[in-house]
Amino acid sequence: MDIFAEAGLKRPDISILSDEFLAEVRGMKQKNLAVELLRKLLNDEIRTRSRTFLVQSRSFAEMLERAIAEYHNRAIETLQVIERLIGLAKDMRQAGERGTRLKLTNEELAFYDALETNDSAVKVLGDETLLTIAREVAGKVRDNTPIDWSLKESARARLRVLVKRVLRNHGYPPDKQEKATVTVLQQAELIAQHWAA
C-alpha cells in the first residue's frame, strides 16, 4: 500500500522536509496514517544516512525506535508521537546543515561525530581541536585506504596506528583513545568504498 497516495500527499524528498510538509502531516485527519507516513520517511532517511554517518544514524534510529515502541505500548498518544517524529525530522534536517556550519565535508563531519561521542574529550579539547582532529583523521584514512583494506589485517592495523597517532598528537584523553579508535575505524568502514583507490 502506498501510504503517500492513501494520505493524498506527494512523495516528498526527506532531505528537504519542509516545515510546510510537516504542518500538512500534523494536520492530517487520519493520525495513525500520519504516524506511519512519518515513520517510513524517517526510516528511509536513517537508512540513507547510515551509509555515511555511523554515529548519527545510530542515534536517530534509537530515537525513532523508542518513540514508536512507546506509541505501540500506548505509553504516548498518537498526537504525541506525531510531534516527536516531527521533532526528529527537524533534528535530522539540522544535523544535515551542521557540516556547512562547521565547514566540514560529510566524511569529516562523520569522523567529527565519531570523536564527539566522548563527552570528556569535548570538555578537555574543545570544538576547534576536535574539528582539526576530524579533518586530519579523514585525510589519513582517505590517503591510506587501499582497496582491500577491510580484508587485510595489516592495513587495518596501519589505520589503527595512524588514528591513534593523530589522537595522541592532539591530546585526546588516553583513557578514551581505544574506544574512539574503534568508532573511527567503524566509521571508516562505512565510507571506505568511496575512498579506496
Residue 97: per-residue pLDDT: 87
Mark which of 102, 123, 141 sits at the end of a domain: 102
**Model pLDDT, residue 11:** 53
Note whether 89 and 73 are same-domain residues. Answer: yes
Residue 108: what pLDDT?
92
pLDDT tens string 151-163: 678 877 888 888 8
Q: Are residues 123 and 83 in the same domain?
A: no
Q: What percent of the chain has pLDDT over 70?
A: 86
| Cα–Cα distance measured from residue 118 to residue 27, given in angstroms and rounded to the nearest whole number | 39
Reference 22, options 41, 3, 5; nearest CA is 41
Distance CA 56, CA 61 (A): 9
pLDDT of the residue at 188: 80
Check residue 103 and give its pLDDT: 92
Residue ranges making up the domain that contains 96: 3-102
Q: How many other C-beta atoms lie within 10 A of the C-beta of residue 190?
A: 17
43 — pLDDT class (breaks 50, 70, 90): very high
- Is the pLDDT higher at 9 or at 104? 104
Confidence of residue 148 (pLDDT cuts 50, 70, 90): low
- Cα-based torsion angle of the residue sequence 73, 78, 81, 85 in order, rounded to the nearest 10 degrees: 130
Same domain, 127 and 188: yes
Count Cβ neighbours within 10 Å for each residue of 15-29 and write b for 16 or more, e otherwise.
eebeeebbeebeebe
Asked which of 102, 130, 158 is the last residue of a domain, the reply is 102
Cell 569535548 belongs to: 122
Q: Is the pLDDT of residue 19 over 80?
A: no
